[in-house]
Amino acid sequence: NAGVMQNPRHLVRRRGQEARLRCSPMKGHSHVYWYRQLPEEGLKFMVYLQKENIIDESGMPKERFSAEFPKEGPSILRIQQVVRGDSAAYFCASSAQGFTSTDTQYFGPGTRLTVL
């Protein structure tokens, strides 16, 4: 049973470019969460999605960041016009039920974004 898949594992962008991060949840999981880890910091929640719905985006920056989880295909975290402060590791997690339950969130290996 494959775990949570994320690609690319490493992404380098120049300031002003767009970054697209992909996450394929574990088989049978329909809930996806995105977290960001800044250097020397813990993980910070960004957004929680179910298929075709954004459930909670309270951790998302108001501008330049967006996320989707279409009916078919992976979840996408998109960062437009990247700035150096966006450099971080972005982790995706999935669960079989929403975070209203005790169901465990399983994490992917992360995408490490570097903005030059």
**Which residues contact other proteins (rule: CB under 8 A)?**
4, 6, 33, 35, 40-45, 48, 56, 59, 91, 93, 98-100, 102, 104-110, 112
116 secondary structure, DSSP code: -
User: CB 113 → other proteins: shortest distance, Å?
Assistant: 14
User: CB 81 → other proteins: shortest distance, Å?
Assistant: 26
What phi and psi, each to the nearest 5 degrees, are found at residue 92? Answer: -110, 145
Task: Return the number of the residue (56 or 68) whose C-beta is nearest other proteins.
Answer: 56
How far apart (Å, rounded) are the C-alpha atoms in residues 82 and 80?
6
- Three-class DSSP category at 85: helix
User: CB 21 → other proteins: shortest distance, Å?
Assistant: 13
Task: Return the number of the residue (66 or 99) whose C-beta is nearest other proteins.
Answer: 99
What phi and psi, each to the nearest 5 degrees, are found at residue 80? Answer: -95, 150
Task: Return the number of the residue (80 or 104) whose C-beta is nearest other proteins.
Answer: 104
User: CB 107 → other proteins: shortest distance, Å?
Assistant: 4
- Residue 25 in contact with residue 32, Cβ under 8 Å? yes
How far apart (Å, rounded) are the C-alpha atoms in residues 90 and 88?
6
Task: Return the number of the residue (5 or 17) whose C-beta is nearest other proteins.
Answer: 5
